[in-house]
Amino acid sequence: MRESLSPKRLEGSGRWLLKIVAGLLIVFFLGLHFVVNHLVAPGGLLTYADVVAYYQNPVVVVMEIAFLIVVISHSFLGLRSILLDLNPSPAVLRFANIALVVIGTAAVIYGTWLALTIASRG
């Protein structure tokens, strides 16, 4: 008997688990981001000079890049899940998978480059 290729079947438990872990990490990094940016930094990070000074700490750069990767991963897996609910053809799903990986990777590369560029300005 042939298994159905339903949207839930195409998602796979690995992607589902990754989405759940990414969601939990978003809550963690978002909380950390708000605390550090708005409570630890005196008066908050209001100017470009404040942000450059803040990015001089390598832990901050790693935290912000990790936050970026987790948010992009979670959101793009969510977009893929929405697409699966529409029951696309295999060709459309293949194209969407490739497009999401390429666009997500480009966003991570750009965001990482931007964070490292800001960090190098200090």
In total, the chain counts a number of residues equal to 122
Nearest 5°: phi and psi at 60? Answer: -65, -45
Tell me how far apart the alpha carbons of residues 7 and 81 are, in angstroms, rounded to a whole number. 8
Tell me how far apart the alpha carbons of residues 50 and 21 are, in angstroms, rounded to a whole number. 32
- Site of tokens 């497009």: 99
Tell me how far apart the alpha carbons of residues 61 and 119 are, in angstroms, rounded to a whole number. 7
Report, in angstroms and rounded to the nearest whole number, the Rg of the chain calculated over CA atoms.
18
pTM of the full predicted structure? 0.73
Question: What would the CATH number be for the domain defined by 7-120?
Answer: 1.20.1300.10
Joined together, the tokens standing for residue 45 give: 């990070």
Domain ranges of the chain: 7-120
In tens, the pLDDT along 2-60 reads 445 555 556 678 888 888 888 888 888 888 888 877 777 666 666 888 889 889 999 98
In tens, the pLDDT along 57-114 reads 999 899 999 999 999 998 998 889 888 888 899 999 999 999 999 999 999 999 999 9
- Nearest of 31, 30, 22 to residue 77 by alpha carbon: 22
Would you call 12 helix, strand, or coil by DSSP?
coil
